[in-house]
Amino acid sequence: MRQFIESLPDGWTIYVWMIAAAGILVGAVFMLRWAAKNKQFDEDIKYVVFDEKDKDKMEPEEYEKSREVIAHQEELRKEYLRKKADRYAQQRQHKQ
């Protein structure tokens, strides 16, 4: 193996680096695509950490926004859990 590597012309390592860089870029594109599909770039997610005790620390508009975001997140959670229960029920039916 060492003899093979030594027999390669000068500058061959740049191709290894280029292939590695291409792999990293392709991986980054797939990760960004996944993040966009799974709503990972939602700016309103910051409001989820607030609760009723934070009302006096926030402006009225911000507080209302936080309540809307939390209500929306709860709806999404219920929908996800409903779909998960449906899939589980279908799997149990197929096994029987």
Query: What pLDDT does 30 receive?
Result: 98
Domain assignments of the chain as residue spans, ordered by start: 1-40, 42-96
Residue 5: pLDDT band (50, 70, 90) is: confident
11-42 residue pLDDT tens: 888 999 999 999 999 999 999 999 999 888 87
Top-ranked range on mean pLDDT: pick from 3-12, 45-54, 79-88? 79-88
Distance between CA atoms of residues 91 and 76, nearest Å: 23
Mean pLDDT of 81-91: 93
- Asked which of 23-32, 44-53, 75-84 is least confident by mean pLDDT, the reply is 44-53
